[in-house]
Structure 1
Amino acid sequence: MIQELSYVGFASPRFEEWRTYGPDLLGAMLKSDGPDGAIRLAVDDINYRIAIHPAEENEFRYAGWGLANETDLHAYVGQLSDRGVVVRWAEEELCKEREVAELAWFQDPWGLRHELSWGKTATPNSFQPGRVMRGGFVTRDQGLGHVVFQVPSLMEANRFYADILGFRLSDRIITDYFNVRFYHINGRHHSLALSELPGHVGFNHLMLEYENMDDLGRAIDLLKRNDTEIMQTLGRHTNDLMTSIYITSPSGLQVELGHGGLVVDDLSWVARTYNKASYWGHRYSETAQSRPAGIINPIN
């Protein structure tokens, strides 16, 4: 089974701006560029977990999901194939680019690309924050963070991601304005969320979690200096208890920066339905009301 969100990849005409946005604001560590010139960022001792490739338009490229070892990867690929998912094994060149031992990939029903791998390269004691920080990022057995996809049908998406891929429901939030389901694969409350947007598909946001609240506060203080706008103000979510803020990025996607997320235990966890997203805060800014919240495209 999948055990973590291992890495993510995007593409953008403004990819070069992540060379400063990543370290100076987020606190990530700038690593060597990818073979195509992609900006690559580390948030822990894994050599890199975020890549922004050069392109003419903003794009979500791939989500990389990590499995424990080669036995688990091959067994999982076999299970997906038996359930009708077309899975392709990557050539050695792509494995080297992603810095993994083996890699297989597939697309969801709307064309979003997912990569499965094991053995992502790490260098012990190598992570150095890109700016002054009191701590680091919450990763380790919780993986990179979480991703949120916009999907045209939540019912169909749940059949694919839960019933076929094996993501486990944490809970859901249903309001007059949105319908979102949250899924976990480890102790992190959710590594994946699916939000329904009929007629559209795309990427909403990437969440990174700080170990220390002060590092979240410092990021907020640095927004103006880094010409970055707030999409949703500081607030605390009802379901995962994360205190967070949503901000713009140079490349269309939102970034949620948070602290204090809930850790779930499958032995005792019971999924709930919430009718509001936050206890307080998370107010939409004028910027959020005037621009798309993510890299979203209509389905042809």
Structure 2
Amino acid sequence: MIQELSYVGIASPRAEEWRSYGTDFLGAMLTEDGPDGAVRLAVDDINYRIAIHPGTEDEFRYAGWGLANETDLRAYVDQLTEQGIDVQWGDARLCRERQVAELAWFCDPWGLRHELTWGKAALPLSFRPGRAMKGRFVTGGQGLGHVVFEVPDIEAANKFYSSLLGFRLSDRIIGDSFHVRFYHINGRHHSLALSQNPGHIGFNHMMLEYEEMDDLGTAIDLQAAHGVETMQTLGRHTNDLMTSTYVASPSGLQIELGHGGLVVDDLSWVARTFHKPSYWGHKRPTGRTSRPGILKALD
């Protein structure tokens, strides 16, 4: 019953750098700070979808998943509770901070926090890109974009997210050194992906999709002026056909900036297995060997 990836929250000692990074480079709109001074960014008429909280270290805080209404939220919480998931209801203060009508939250088996909400605040015709753009970000019924988590055991994670939470498999990519599963909850090819990384758990990247290829190209042109490092060069994925590049952010995680992703239809969609992630491109710059993302080693 989850309808969309609604919002994402991280923490960082470089939160302030997101004011210019988010607007002048990404093209998002700066909105009112959170109660703790969190930098908030809008990518559409939803009041904000990305929050960067002040923190002593780079840290994933939460992913917010939107449901259609209060009836769906309460039914979904009841369903999760019956399956043994410890779901807590957020208080009025937390709902005001997230700007939602109601909120419940839980942590997955590896400690990643997920918030379930309905009624995210919005103001029609309020979005103004932070830089000149030909189009907008692809959101609407497809939600914010997608997030990718690294998990130590892909089969256990698949059981939790698919069987218990109801994420629907779009396809998977399996190679000699990687195993990634992709899940949809609406027309977007995937709002969630899980990548196996034994011994680690964390937030690998977040994807934002531009309506227009020219706006992706402009972002690539702006990288040098803003000192934004390329993590993977421009390329096209095999499974969702997204043309994209991966860039560094001020806070550890990488951002995938894309255009032209597939839209899936559950009535006709058949999950496939791919053995390489890209038709072309998506190369790591010479000398880059470290894994991007906000990761932590498991004890």
Superposition TM-score, scaled by structure 2 size: 0.99
Corresponding position of 1:292: 291
Q: Which residue of 2 aligns with 1:189?
A: 189
Q: Shift of residue 287 of structure 1?
A: 6.0
Within 5 A, what are the aligned runs for 1:58-77?
58-77=58-77
CA-to-aligned-CA distance 1:111-142 (integer Å, 9 cap, x gap): 00000000000000000000000000000000
Check the 8 A contact 1:231/1:287 in 2, yes or no: no
Q: Which residue pairs with 1:250 in the alignment?
A: 250
CA contact (8 A) 1:73 1:117 kept: yes
Match of 1:282 in 2: 282
Q: C-alpha distance in 2, partners of 1:143/1:73?
A: 17
Partner of 2:134, secondary structure, is coil
Counterpart secondary structure, 2:53 = strand
The separation in 2 between residues aligned to 1:4 and 1:128, in whole angstroms, is: 22
Deviations 1:151-206 (CA, angstroms, capped at 9, x unpaired): 00000000100000000000000011210000000000000000000110000000
**Mapped partners of 2:223, 2:35: distance in 1:** 30
Question: Matched residues in 2 for 1:27 and 1:178: separation?
Answer: 32
Q: Is the 8 A contact 1:230 1:287 kept in 2?
A: no
Aligned to 1:20: 20
Give, in whole Å, the separation in 2 of the partners of 1:2 and 1:46.
Answer: 17
Measured in 1, the distance between the counterparts of 2:198 and 2:63 equals 22
1:48 matched to which residue of 2?
48
Render the CA deviation track for 1:233-279: whole Å, top value 9, x for unaligned.
Answer: 00000000000000000000000000000000000000000001000
How far does the alpha carbon of each residue in 1:211-232 deviate from its partner, in whole angstroms, 9 at most, with x for none?
Answer: 0000000000000111110000
One-letter code of the match for 2:278?
S
- The aligned residue for residue 101 of structure 2 is 101
Cα distance, 1:11–1:286 mapped onto 2, change above 3 Å:
farther
Any conservation in 2 of the 1:232–1:288 contact (CA below 8 Å)? Answer: no
Match of 1:8, SS? strand
Deviations 1:24-47 (A, max 9, x none): 110000001100000000000000
Matches of 1:25 and 1:132, distance apart in 2: 10
- For the residue of structure 1 that corresponds to 2:223, the secondary structure is coil
Secondary structure of 2:94's aligned partner? helix
Aligned ranges 1:1-300 → 2 under 5 Å? 1-286=1-286, 288-289=288-289, 291-300=290-299
- The CA distance in 2 between the partners of 1:86 and 1:109, in whole Å, is 11
Structure 1 unaligned segments of length 5 or more: list them: none
Cα separation, 2, equivalents of 1:237 and 1:159: 25
Give the % identical residues: 72
**Corresponding letter in the other structure for 2:293:** G
Q: Normalized against structure 1, the TM-score is what?
A: 0.99
Residue identity opposite 1:118 in structure 2: W
- The secondary structure found in structure 2 opposite 1:251 is coil
Task: Give the counterpart letter for 1:37 in structure 2.
Answer: G
Letter in 1 for 2:297: P
Amino acid at match of 1:181: R
Question: Quick one: distance in 2 between partners of 1:124 and 1:298?
Answer: 43
- How many residues are paired up? 299
* 1:96 Cα offset (Å): 0.2
Task: Report the alpha carbon displacement of residue 87 of structure 1 after superposing the two structures with TM.
Answer: 0.1
Over the residues paired in the alignment, what is the CA RMSD in angstroms? Answer: 0.6
CA offset at residue 293 of structure 1?
1.0
Structure 2 CA distance for aligned equivalents of residues 63 and 32 of structure 1: 20
- What's the CA shift for 1:285? 1.4
Deviation at 1:74, TM superposition (A): 0.1
* Structure 2 Cα separation of the partners of residues 227 and 56 of structure 1: 23
1:89 partner letter: W
Instruction: Give, as a single letter, the amino acid of the residue that structure 1 aligns with 2:295.
Output: I
Q: Give the Cα separation in 1 of the matches to 2:291 and 2:61.
A: 18
Distance in 2 (CA, whole Å) between partners of 1:165 and 1:186 is 14
Q: Alignment partner of 1:18: what SS?
A: helix
Q: CA deviation at 1:288?
A: 3.7
Gaps of 5+ in 2: none
